[in-house]
């Protein structure tokens, strides 16, 4: 199967402008995501989809492949879908699975990508999957930068929210609370279906792409990961991640 990773990235983040090129241990964050994602044996190639020349120039300088996309996209999934079509046109090869990898997850572990893709390989009824991880603190649970998810008994997503779910009022800790971890494999046709679907109210309210699928009746399989990563949403997060990554086991494999 032809499986690739695409990292959508842009400079104009509302919460942290210029975030993809913010440095962690001397390397721009997008460089960490690219190098670590390339270590996943399941991926044939990793691309960066961007509308910004600064990101494109850096990505090309480290031997990655930048795909220039429109600057009008409001959702990472829309940018990824455009990149998919450009890559197919450039390579002349049809893709089977596209793994969307967020550019603000510099602690990503290659095994996480392998884990997220497995459901699509073994069950043809599954068109899209996401990783999820247990929330470790009430602070994370209440943090609007952390996307929370609740699932059914077969680990299909019921809803994604930036609010504390399950209910802040009644939740007593007996149910494990989960956050979305942004490693998102799609079948090719599923990703192209996404851009044809009308944007939905809950997708817009929560600013979570996956709610578009749920509101249109498309199931999203959630896969639990034990890896404890931290996304970078603010400059404060960047400092925390840098402190943690000093002792990271993968750093020496791509930083000399």
Tell me the CA distances in angstroms from 87 to 49, 76, 111, one per residue in order. 10, 16, 25
- Rounded Cα distance between 58 and 5, Å, is 18
Distance of CA 57 to the CA centre of its chain: 22
3-state secondary structure of 217: coil
Q: Give how many domains the chain has, as a whole number.
A: 1
Q: Containing domain of residue 181, as a range? A: 3-254
pLDDT in tens, 87-140: 999 999 999 999 999 999 999 999 999 999 999 999 999 999 999 999 888 888
Domain containing 111 — which CATH number? 3.90.550.10
pTM: 0.94
User: What is the pLDDT, as a whole number, of residue 100?
Assistant: 98
pLDDT in tens, 153-197: 999 999 999 999 987 676 566 678 899 998 999 999 999 999 999
pLDDT in tens, 51-82: 999 999 999 999 889 999 999 998 999 999 99
- Rounded Cα distance between 66 and 56, Å, is 5
Q: Which two tokens stand for residue 70?
A: 């429109």
User: What is the pLDDT, as a whole number, of residue 225?
Assistant: 95
User: What is the pLDDT, as a whole number, of residue 64?
Assistant: 87
């Amino acid at each position: 199967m032809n499986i690739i990773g695409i990292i959508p990235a842009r400079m104009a983040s509302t919460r942290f402008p210029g975030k993809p090129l913010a440095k962690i241990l001397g390397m721009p964050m997008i460089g960490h995501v690219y190098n670590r994602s390339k270590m996943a044996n399941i991926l044939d190639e990793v691309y960066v989809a961007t509308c910004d020349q600064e990101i494109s120039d850096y990505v090309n300088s480290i031997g990655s492949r930048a795909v220039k996309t429109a600057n009008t996209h409001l959702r990472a999934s829309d940018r990824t879908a455009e990149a998919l079509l450009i890559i197919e046109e450039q390579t002349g090869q049809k893709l089977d699975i596209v793994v969307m990898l967020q550019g603000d997850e510099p602690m990503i572990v290659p095994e996480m990508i392998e884990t997220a893709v497995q459901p699509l390989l073994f069950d043809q009824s599954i068109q899209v999957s996401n990783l999820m991880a247990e929330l470790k603190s009430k602070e994370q649970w209440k943090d609007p930068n952390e996307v929370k998810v609740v699932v059914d008994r077969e680990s299909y997503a019921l809803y994604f929210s930036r609010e504390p779910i399950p209910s802040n009022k009644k939740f007593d800790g007996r149910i494990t609370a989960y956050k979305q971890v942004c490693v998102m494999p799609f079948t090719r046709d599923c990703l192209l279906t996404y851009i044809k679907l009308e944007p939905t109210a809950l997708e817009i309210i929560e600013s979570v792409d996956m709610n578009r699928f749920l509101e249109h009746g498309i199931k999203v399989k959630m896969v639990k990961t034990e890896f404890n990563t931290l996304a970078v949403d603010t400059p404060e997060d960047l400092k925390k991640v840098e402190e943690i990554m000093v002792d990271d086991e993968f750093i020496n494999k791509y930083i000399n």
